[in-house]
Amino acid sequence: MKLALQINMNPSLYLRDPEGTDLGKNIIKHSIQLIHDTGFEAFTFKKLAESIGTTEAGVYRYFENKHKLLVYIISWYWRWLDFQIGYQTKNLTNPVSKLKKVITILATTVEDDLMTGHVDESILHQILISEGSKAFLTKQVNQDNKQEYFKPYKDLCNTVGEIILECNPKYKYPHSLASTIIEMAHLQNFFMNHLPLLTDFSKSKDEKEIIKYLEDLVFNTIRI
């Protein structure tokens, strides 16, 4: 018996549902690995096809282009994070503990979740750090947004915003603070590892420091 967590995705992101076939699952699995290894700029469908053992045309039958594949992968992770937050905070009654949990989830490199066979969440977390913002920092962002490509991000932001409001119902900027926490959980990690002088964690290079920084930022801001 195998438990499976099914995350449902926006169908206009793909031509054929990658969850439905072995080749599809391989496309997801190998693209996560390859984007992580080479970076999104150098990532091509040809290299992906080679690493799977299929042809370029085979990949194109599933995804129109590499941008949509990136958005697929990134928004999959946003949904997964949203699910994790719901799951890991559902028994907590104290909103401050909830928010601390949220920060920890966002800022910690996760272990591979066995409930999602072909997706390695620990690599996905790295991709979100390095490539995440490339999903929306494009000229087509408004069109993509109309197609609801970023709904998972908005949902995640909303979940976090709700918890912020539980801590302090009068706080005026719950969504902005939520997106700040999410983005900074990733960006401070990138800076810590690659441009350490932009952070105060250059010595330890420890994720726990990022968590402490974010907790200090958030709880002072909402005055807890």
Partner DNA sequence: TTTAAATAATAGTATTACTATCTTAAATAA
Partner DNA sequence: TTATTTAAGATAGTAATACTATTATTTAAA
175 contact choice in DNA, its own copies, none (CB below 5 to 8 Å, kind-dependent): its own copies
Residue that has been written with the tokens 């709880």 in this structure: 219
Give the nearer residue to its own copies in terms of CB position, either 33 or 54: 33
Does 21 engage in binding with DNA (CB under 7 A)? yes
Distance CA 201, CA 223 (A): 24
Q: Where does this chain touch DNA (CB under 7 A) — which range of 48-56, 131-139, 148-156, 204-212?
A: 48-56
List 6, 8, 65, 93, residue binding DNA (CB under 7 A): 65
Does 22 engage in binding with DNA (CB under 7 A)? yes
Q: Compute the CA torsion angle 186, 17, 8, 115 (nearest 10 deg).
A: -70
Question: Could you tell me the sign of the dihedral formed by the alpha carbons of 172, 176, 182, 188, in that order?
Answer: negative
Does 42 engage in binding with DNA (CB under 7 A)? yes
Report whether 67 contacts 77 (CB < 8 A).
no
Does 122 engage in binding with DNA (CB under 7 A)? no
CB of 126 to DNA, least distance (A): 21
CB of 63 to DNA, least distance (A): 9
Cα–Cα distance list, 154 to 98, 148, 149, 177, 221 (Å):
19, 10, 10, 13, 21
Which residues contribute to the site for DNA (CB under 7 A)? 16, 21-24, 42, 44-47, 53-58, 60-61, 64-67
